[in-house]
């Protein structure tokens, strides 16, 4: 990505030491810059750089000045931790105050997404979900219909404008249910299972207290049951623990009384509230980052309670939602459309009160964790890979795109995000090759309802929680290496086909010159080098076609016979870059010509989009553009 309009908010702080929190490496001396979009650390010697989006900063802590310097720790929402030592106390304090300012803007319009708008933004990312098309795809029956009762968000500002309800439900029934449900969030359709007519609806808790009831709400529940002619029972799943629901009754809310509803069966799922979830994740992060032995780690994971919080439905029964496009539609529909409070839960903005921090909770993170658990059990059922989930997690917090800004659809429209910010979906579309799962088989699974839900089947998502911890995760994972191998084989097969075509042409022209293919010493995964010390590509000799044919030496561009293994690449091979591959979230990209591994900034694609070439190898050819 390319960023502009970065305003320096403080003078650069020099002679800052980057500390390895595990104590295994020497401190790196460099300079810190704080801008309106990123915090940047650049080493004095070498080319190491760290770019941290301001929206990803979760907390900043500073310690007292000591003989070694003043410690400053930046803890990030995507689980990176940056430990710094600053020589002067005043410089440390100024940087500390600046970081607090940039990571918690008081106005959502001050986040970087509003500066990051391109001149030619593809608006298709803002049209990822069309409600009518999605329900048509699901095969919604005539028992359900669209209502305009929430047009202009007049009935519920946290619901989408377009709602689907039972066809038999009249306006007075809907209005009564709206007044009875918390925040006006009446029961509304979110998924229709066409194989048996079952429907999944969602709603908020009722404002029932101990005695109150609502005839309209009871009627609506009955109509939801009757919308399925095969089964008129409504299973009401309350995700709260029962004790929490009882407490809410004292506050005038609570849960449905089965005695007043003729066709419901109530079930509590015992998912703890946002405050417990927040504490649970912090305990898990501490377990991943502080425990020194396996026993200590396992005890900490168990006590965190994090692995208890898993619940998911549509992903299990509908293969469409297990594709990249479908997964984005699912997020648009059930998270963005139905009003998950991303601004509050992800702390996109700060507030001058004590209540805002209490609203922060990793609900979306936990849902992604749940998806990963299923993905791990059935990897061939998903079109996307682990990197895709990690990227979504990062950008839910980063504030670099407008997709996850706002607490509801009404907020996003009032902020005009579709015209003022970039869509995350457009960005992900441009990098879709990074997120493809090589093992995906669309025909293999219809549903995943038979997955193993025993506690022993779940594990900690180290690719996320230990993402930036060197030495814990292997540099090379099976999916990335498989994709790399498939890509390389495809390139070699294409060149073999070209050589065969040229050989046939030569034979037709009646020329006797040979076509040679020479391995000129290109390095393998162990790093073999040519005589000049550089890894040379595979070259072709194509002379002898005759001047009249227009062919000459170098007709075909060289292609690397062997590619550097990902496990041998800890940093970009460009001598002027120094980008370090310190997590699985960063794709290692091979140059088709030399076979070395580079970061995304240091490769280009040819104008015909047939080759990916590093900056060094582009000098021999024009027509190269940025990836």
Q: Which residues are annotated as a binding site for substrate?
A: 273-274
Please answer whether residues 46 and 578 qualify as being in contact, where contact means their C-beta atoms are separated by less than 8 angstroms: yes
Measured between alpha carbons, how far is 419 from 113 in angstroms, rounded to an integer? Answer: 11
- Phi and psi for 229 in degrees, rounded to 5? -65, -20
Task: Residue 318: name the closest of 409, 438, 192 by CA.
Answer: 192
Which residues touch 108 (CB under 8 Å, ≥6 apart)? 343, 348, 349, 405, 406, 415
Please answer whether residues 482 and 439 qualify as being in contact, where contact means their C-beta atoms are separated by less than 8 angstroms: yes
Which DSSP letter does residue 69 get? -
Handedness of CA 403, 408, 409, 411 (dihedral sign): negative
The pairing of beta strand 49-53 with beta strand 38-43:
antiparallel
Measured between alpha carbons, how far is 191 from 131 in angstroms, rounded to an integer? Answer: 11
190 three-state secondary structure: strand
Residue 259, Cβ density class (10 Å: 0-12 exposed, 13-18 middle, ≥19 buried): exposed
Which residues touch 203 (CB under 8 Å, ≥6 apart)? 181, 185, 186, 187, 188
Handedness of CA 54, 58, 64, 68 (dihedral sign): negative
Binding site residue list:
273-274
Measured between alpha carbons, how far is 428 from 431 in angstroms, rounded to an integer? Answer: 5
Please answer whether residues 448 and 356 qualify as being in contact, where contact means their C-beta atoms are separated by less than 8 angstroms: no
User: What's the distance, CA 171 to chain centroid?
Assistant: 40
Q: What's the token pair of residue 80?
A: 């990176």
- Phi and psi for 610 in degrees, rounded to 5? -100, -20
Residue 447, Cβ density class (10 Å: 0-12 exposed, 13-18 middle, ≥19 buried): middle
């Amino acid at each position: 990505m390319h960023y502009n309009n970065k305003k320096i908010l403080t003078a650069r702080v020099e002679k800052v030491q980057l500390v390895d929190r595990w104590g295994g490496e020497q401190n790196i001396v460099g300079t810190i810059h704080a801008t309106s979009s990123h915090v940047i650390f650049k080493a004095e010697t070498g080319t190491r750089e760290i770019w941290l989006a301001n929206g990803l900063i979760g907390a900043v802590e500073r310690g007292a000045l000591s003989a070694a310097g003043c410690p400053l720790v930046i803890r990030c929402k995507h689980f990176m931790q940056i430990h710094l030592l600053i020589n002067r106390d005043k410089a440390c304090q100024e940087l500390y105050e600046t970081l607090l300012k940039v990571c918690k803007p008081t106005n959502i319009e001050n986040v970087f997404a509003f500066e990051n708008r391109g001149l030619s933004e593809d608006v298709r990312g803002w049209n990822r979900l069309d409600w009518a098309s999605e329900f048509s795809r699901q095969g919604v029956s005539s028992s359900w219909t669209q209502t305009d009762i929430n047009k202009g968000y007049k009935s519920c500002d946290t619901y989408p404008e377009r709602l689907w309800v039972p066809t038999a439900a009249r306006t007075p029934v809907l209005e009564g249910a709206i007044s009875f449900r918390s925040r006006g969030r009446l029961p509304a359709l979110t998924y229709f299972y066409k194989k048996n007519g079952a429907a999944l609806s969602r709603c908020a808790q009722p404002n029932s207290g101990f005695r109150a009831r609502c005839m309209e709400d009871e009627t609506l529940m009955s109509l939801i049951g009757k919308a399925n002619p095969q089964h008129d029972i409504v299973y009401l799943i309350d995700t709260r623990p029962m004790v929490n629901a009882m407490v809410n009754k004292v506050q005038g809310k609570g849960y449905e009384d089965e005695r007043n509803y003729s066709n419901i069966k109530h079930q509590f799922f015992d998912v703890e509230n946002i405050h417990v979830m927040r504490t649970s994740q912090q305990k898990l992060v501490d377990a991943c980052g502080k425990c020194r032995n396996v026993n200590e780690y396992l005890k900490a994971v168990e006590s965190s309670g994090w692995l208890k919080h898993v619940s998911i439905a549509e992903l299990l029964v509908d293969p469409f939602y297990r594709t990249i496009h479908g997964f984005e539609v699912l997020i648009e529909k059930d998270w963005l459309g139905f009003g998950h409070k991303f601004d509050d839960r992800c702390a996109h903005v700060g507030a001058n009160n004590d209540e805002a921090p209490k609203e922060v909770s990793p609900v979306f993170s936990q849902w992604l964790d749940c998806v990963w658990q299923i993905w791990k059990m059935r990897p061939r059922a998903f079109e996307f890979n682990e990197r895709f989930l990690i990227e979504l997690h990062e950008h839910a917090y980063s504030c670099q795109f407008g997709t996850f800004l706002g607490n509801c659809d009404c907020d996003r429209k009032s902020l005009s995000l579709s015209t003022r910010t970039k869509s995350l979906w457009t960005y992900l579309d441009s990098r879709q090759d990074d997120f493809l799962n090589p093992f995906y088989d669309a025909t293999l699974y219809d549903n995943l309802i038979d997955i193993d839900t025993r506690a022993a089947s779940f594990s900690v998502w180290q690719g996320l929680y230990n993402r930036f911890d060197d030495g814990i995760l292997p540099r090379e994972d099976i999916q990335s290496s498989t994709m790399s191998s498939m890509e390389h084989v495809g390139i070699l097969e294409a060149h073999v086909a070209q050589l065969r075509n040229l050989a046939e042409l030569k034979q037709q022209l009646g020329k006797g010159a040979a076509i040679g293919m020479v391995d000129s010493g290109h390095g393998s995964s162990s790093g073999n080098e040519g005589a000049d010390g550089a890894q040379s590509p595979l070259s072709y000799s194509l002379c002898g076609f005759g001047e009249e044919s227009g062919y000459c030496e170098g007709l075909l561009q060289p292609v690397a016979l062997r590619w550097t293994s990902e496990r041998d690449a800890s940093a970009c091979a460009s001598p002027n870059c120094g980008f370090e591959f310190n997590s699985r979230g960063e794709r290692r990209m091979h140059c088709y010509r030399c076979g070395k591994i580079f970061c995304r900034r240091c490769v280009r694609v040819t104008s015909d989009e047939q080759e990916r070439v590093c900056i060094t190898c582009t000098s021999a050819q024009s027509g190269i553009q940025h990836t």
